[in-house]
Amino acid sequence: IHEFKNKQLHIVDFHEYQTKALEIFKKITLKNPLDKSYELSDERIAQYKQSKLEKITDLSVLLAPYYNREEIKTITKKLNITETYAIGIASQNVLYATVNLMVQKPLTYAEKEYIQALTYQASISIQSKVDMNALYEAKIKAEEANKAKNTFLTNISHEIRTPMNTI
């Protein structure tokens, strides 16, 4: 698990209608969106770090630098996308992942709360894993320091005992 540092977003999955969406994207743009990385602005990263479900009025907010408006309109129409949402999976102001939803019908209040809860739980799980990794690394360092201390004491003890034996 790594912090989202390089501002590069990679689309991992299109979920339910993945095949259809991919084919439409490829047909319209002549590009595979899964093969592309998308650079996020500092403003977009700040929005994602808030971990709040945000309704995006236009898909071009996310895709404009990479696809022209006509391509985005055509994609939206062909996939019957009525709303787009974005939310970040972040903890302690560190962004780990993003979730962007393109939906074919408006989300209900309960669905929005459910999405918020799922991403919150993901944030907690990720932070827990990050903390466990940090503890493990600290344990390894402490064991190495203890081994070095024991080696040092063994050597010093020997250095002190050898001259004392002659006395």
pLDDT above 60: residue 17: no
pLDDT over 70, % of the chain: 86
50, 71, 111, 114, 122 from 117: Cα distances, Å: 14, 33, 10, 5, 9
94, 116, 154 from 1: Cα distances, Å: 12, 21, 40
Give the pLDDT confidence score for residue 167 in this predicted structure.
Answer: 59
pLDDT tens for each residue of 19-69: 777 788 888 888 877 777 778 888 888 888 898 998 987 777 777 778 888
pLDDT above 90: residue 142: yes
**Interatomic CA distance for residues 86 and 114, integer angstroms:** 14
Nearest to 130 by CA among 90, 99, 161: 90
Nearest to 26 by CA among 88, 82, 71: 71
Give the pLDDT confidence score for residue 2 in this predicted structure.
Answer: 61
- Strands 54-56 and 8-10: what pairing? unpaired
Outline where 2-108 has alpha helix (H): 18-29, 42-49, 60-63, 69-78
Give the pLDDT confidence score for residue 118 in this predicted structure.
Answer: 92
Beta bridge partners of 8: 39
pLDDT mean over 134-143: 95
Q: Which DSSP category does 35 fall into?
A: G
Which of the pair, 16 or 23, is modelled with greater confidence? Answer: 23
**Interatomic CA distance for residues 152 and 70, integer angstroms:** 71
**Interatomic CA distance for residues 53 and 101, integer angstroms:** 10
